[in-house]
Amino acid sequence: MMRKLAILAAALALATPAAAQDAAAVKARVEALRARVELLKDHDKIENLQAAYGFYFDKSLWSEVADLFADDGSFEYGQMGVYVGKAHIKRGLTLISKEGPEFGKLNNHMQLQSIIDVAPDGKTAKARFRGMMQLSRANEGGQWGDGVYENDYVKQNGVWKIARLHFYVDGVTDYDLGWTKSAIPLAGQSAAIPPDKPPTEVYRGYPGAYIPPYHYPHPVTGQPLNIPQPADSVLGRK
């Protein structure tokens, strides 16, 4: 009997390292899956954050829009310049319209075609969205618009906020005339409520063809997208 117990004890001793390794491998896999789930949850939260921005923006709820930003966050719309901090972002938004919904005002900014990349540590993220605009005043005419968002986000105390919002306005046209007959110039910097910084990049909208830089590599080749900007005689770009 003693001999059998000794043999069993020796076998268990030999098995323990392997069992420990298996347990460690399982634990590592569980932790990796947990981290993956957290990143997926972060992805959804950022998508919802940007969608909320669009709904608030539509109704000119500037206080609610500003509260989506980090305290030192920045807002840049077309060629209007960069507004920094919640208070100044809110003031800059009043250049678009006064705060709150108005009878006869259409200001739709749809958030579409999202590409969201969360950093592995789950603390920051970048995203690109397509923005489609429907702008109008009743009995005064309307406009169609299009643009691209390239945004940065930051997680603070477990809550995702906008760190940098940059809406590159591709172009704006008269609703009735359409893209073939109308190209409305982009608004510049305001003298009444000056931005904190000039535009990050100088470009013009349609008929210009500026391509906002892509924050992400090609999803198949893994290579960065270094696309040369088309020539523009107005800006002197060759």
State the residue range of the domain holding 88. Answer: 2-174
What tokens appear for 81 in the block?
């310049």
Predicted TM-score (pTM) of the model is 0.86
The answer to the question of residue 222 being in a domain is no
Beta bridge partners of 31: none
Give me the pLDDT at residue 235, please: 80
- State the Cα–Cα distance between residues 149 and 168, nearest whole angstrom: 6
- Residues 193-231 have pLDDT tens digits of 999 999 999 999 999 889 999 999 999 999 998 888 888
Give me the pLDDT at residue 15, please: 53
The answer to the question of residue 161 being in a domain is yes
Please state, as a whole number, how many other Cβ atoms lie within 10 Å of the Cβ of residue 18.
9
The answer to the question of residue 187 being in a domain is no
The answer to the question of residue 192 being in a domain is no
The answer to the question of residue 223 being in a domain is no
- Residues 39-48 have pLDDT tens digits of 899 999 999 9
Write out the chain's pLDDT in tens, 238 residues.
555 545 545 554 555 666 667 777 766 676 776 778 788 999 999 999 999 999 999 999 999 999 999 999 999 999 999 999 999 999 999 999 999 999 999 999 999 999 999 999 999 999 999 999 999 999 888 999 999 999 999 999 999 999 999 999 999 999 999 999 999 999 999 999 999 999 999 999 999 889 999 999 999 999 998 888 888 887 878 7
Q: Where are the alpha helices (DSSP H) in the chain?
A: 2-58, 62-66, 86-93
The answer to the question of residue 205 being in a domain is no
CATH number of the domain residue 73 falls in: 3.10.450.50
CA neighbor of 50 nearest in space, from 106, 96, 116? 116
Number of domains in the chain: 1
DSSP state letters, 144-166: EEEEEEEEEEEEETTEEEEEEEE
**β 159-174/69-77 pair status:** parallel
Beta bridge partners of 142: 136
The answer to the question of residue 184 being in a domain is no
CA neighbor of 189 nearest in space, from 45, 80, 103, 101? 80
- State the Cα–Cα distance between residues 203 and 234, nearest whole angstrom: 9
The answer to the question of residue 158 being in a domain is yes
Q: Which residues contact 176 (CB under 8 A, 6 or more apart)?
A: 141, 142
